[in-house]
Each structure stands twice: as structure tokens, then as C-alpha cells.
Copies of this chain bind each other. A is one copy, B any other.
């Protein structure tokens, strides 16, 4: 047997570049979004590359990849890429192939062109019920339902600015939703149910206790089993104990659902990056199409479109008009859950008489 190959790392980044990129990397002069989903980049050398961006499902099959490959072979000399938000980009070097490519994509039917500029691009998301063990919600299904409703905004430039929606199916936030214009977050609302007969077998008790951010977990003896007890008053359902200890599941049909967060951003353009803030504390899981979630997101998006200045991100809009006005404009309810009570809570209190009626 040949020596086992390890630690070779990924292929070098330029291996898959089209020739025009090899020649012009670092020399690009400007870009122009010719129409939604179609980018042109022009080099100092005069060289050009067109990129056609298409929505994709992220969770896909090898059949789908093969279809993408076929299109790329036909119009892009076999070159394509994925964006950081799970869209596919077909890289066109020969301008003559641009229109035929767009036709082929339209014919394909599952590769909608868009996701550029002042749009709602693809939703960054996580595993949900398709793979993970800790989710409070599904991921792919919610994304599908929401994107169906917002579809017109994907392939157009109708938003005041770019809107980035992200989804994470539990507080671990693998989707890094904490800095998104709109975040869809799976939340549990019941403390773990403890399998006392197995805690000591399946878990390291001290690590489990240490894992709780609010110190809600104490060692306990239950029916002669070494186990733990959870102080339900201190539990905020983060699921961190379950991560450490499989004998403490949180998932519950009635307890679990969706929270919506708004106004985060990552870019440093104009305003500094912002965390997303709580908009809707809880919406029950409503598979298969999560109608309340979809409706409330639409409500937020429409209030934003109606109220924001051009070039103003959602969080910039909310801060300009004030959060009291945000709740009014979106028709969302403000409840005690919106008031922070975690570590930096006091820094969010309003220490001024400045507010609006």
C-alpha cells in the first residue's frame, strides 16, 4: 500500500481560476452590475469578466452539481464558483456567451439569477433537522418558505440597500446570525429534560456543570444515580449543557420555535458593524411553511423599504428613526423579553430623556 497521504491541504486557490483571472488578479479597475445578478469587472488591462450569480439551495445533491457543471462547461469553459452566501457564480469570459447562458439558466428553472446589489440575497443558514442534533427548528425548509415570499427582491434592486438574512437553528449560531440585517434563530424555551439514569454514564458531570453560562446546573443524586439538577428559574435554554451531555435534551414541540432579530451588519461602510437586536421573541414552529415567520419578516422588510433612505442599511434606519419608532412602523409588539437582562444589559438602558412619542 502506498504511503497514506495526509495534511496536503486544499488545492491552491489559482488552480481553478479562468485564464483571464490568472492574468488580471490584482489589476481589476472597477465593477458594474449590469442588471440584477450580472456583474462586469474590468481590468486595468482592459480585460473583462462577466459573472452571473444564481440562487442555490446549499443543501443539494450531486445531480444538481452535475447540472451546474454542464452549464459551466457550455458557457464558462468549465469555471464557476460559490459566493460566501451560497450562491453560484458562472464566470463568463466571452461576452457572446452571456445571453445564451442567461437563457440556459432560465430554462433550467432552479438557478434564479439575482443576489447582487440592493437586493435580498440568499439566506446563509445551517443544518436544522437535516443533520444537526441540537436544532430548535429546521433550516432549509424555513429558508425555502421565506425566499419564496421574498423572491421578487432577490432578482431586483428594489431595496434601500443590501439586506442580509441569516438563519441559525440554535443559539450556537453557526450561521453567525448575530450581525445580520435580519436573523432567523431557532430557540428552545424549556429547560433540559434530564435522563438521570444516564447522566453519569454518558457525561462528564463537572464539565456539564461548568458549561452552563448562568450556573443553573448543580450536582444531584436522583434515585441513587449520580446526576445533575437544573434550576429552571436560571435556565435560559441555551442548550450548552446538552452539547456537553447527551442525557439532557432540550428539543420540544411546544417549547421550540423562532426568534427574529434585526439591524445587524458586518461591513464597515458608513456605520460600524452592529449586532442584530431582538425583534420578535418567539414564533412557534409551523412546518412545512412557517407562515407566521414568513409574514413577520415580510412586515419588517416592507416597513424598511417604505421608511429607509437609499443606501441605508436596516440597522441604520432603525437607529435613525429610533427603536420606539421601529416597533411602531413594523407593527411588532415590544415585550419584556426585548429588555436585555444579560451581562451588558445596563449599557442598553435609555439614560436620556431623548426619545420619541
Interface residues of A (CB under 8 A from B): 268, 272-273, 343-344, 346-347, 351-354
Tell me, in angstroms, the Cα distance from A268 to B353 when the chains sit together. 7
A21, chain B: closest CB distance, angstroms = 26
Q: Cα distance A353–B269 when bound, in Å?
A: 10
Which residues from B are CB-within-8-Å of A272?
A: 351-352, 354
CB of A50 to closest CB in B, whole Å: 30
CB of A97 to closest CB in B, whole Å? 38
Q: Which residue of B lies closest to A350 (CB)?
A: B272
A27→B16 CA distance, assembly (Å) = 80
| A354 contact set on B, CB distance < 8 A | 268, 272
**Residues of B with C-beta under 8 A to A268:** 352-354
Which residue of chain B lies nearest to A345 when distances are taken between CB atoms in the complex?
B344
The residues of B that contact A347 with a CB separation of less than 8 Å are: 344, 347
Copies of the chain in the assembly: 2
Q: Which 10 A-B pairs have the closest CB atoms?
A: A272-B352, A268-B353, A268-B352, A268-B354, A347-B347, A272-B354, A344-B347, A273-B352, A344-B344, A273-B351
- Alpha-carbon gap, A354 to B272, bound state (A): 7
Q: In the docked arrangement, what's the CA distance between A171 and B351, Å?
A: 22
What is the distance, in angstroms, from A357's C-beta to the closest C-beta of chain B?
15
Q: What B residues does A353 contact at CB under 8 A?
A: 268
- Smallest Cβ distance from A301 to chain B, in angstroms? 26
Min CB gap A124→B, angstroms:
20
Inter-chain contacts of A351 with B (CB < 8 A): 272-273
Determine how close the nearest CB of chain B comes to the CB of A282; give it in whole angstroms: 27
Q: In the bound complex, how far is the Cα of B198 from the Cα of A15, in angstroms?
A: 78
- Return chain B residues, CB-CB under 8 Å to A352: 268, 272-273
Q: State A288–B268 Cα separation when bound (angstroms).
A: 50
13 contacts between A and B (CB under 8 A): A268-B352, A268-B353, A268-B354, A272-B351, A272-B352, A272-B354, A273-B351, A273-B352, A343-B343, A344-B344, A344-B346, A344-B347, A347-B347
- Docked Cα-Cα span, A354 to B268, in Å, equals 7
Once the chains are docked, how many angstroms separate the CA of A353 from the CA of B344? 23
A268, B351: Cα distance in complex, Å: 10
Q: Which residues of B contact A343 (CB under 8 A)?
A: 343
A248-B272 Cα distance, complex, nearest whole Å: 46
Taken together as a complex, chains A and B put the C-alpha atoms of A347 and B344 apart, in Å, by 8
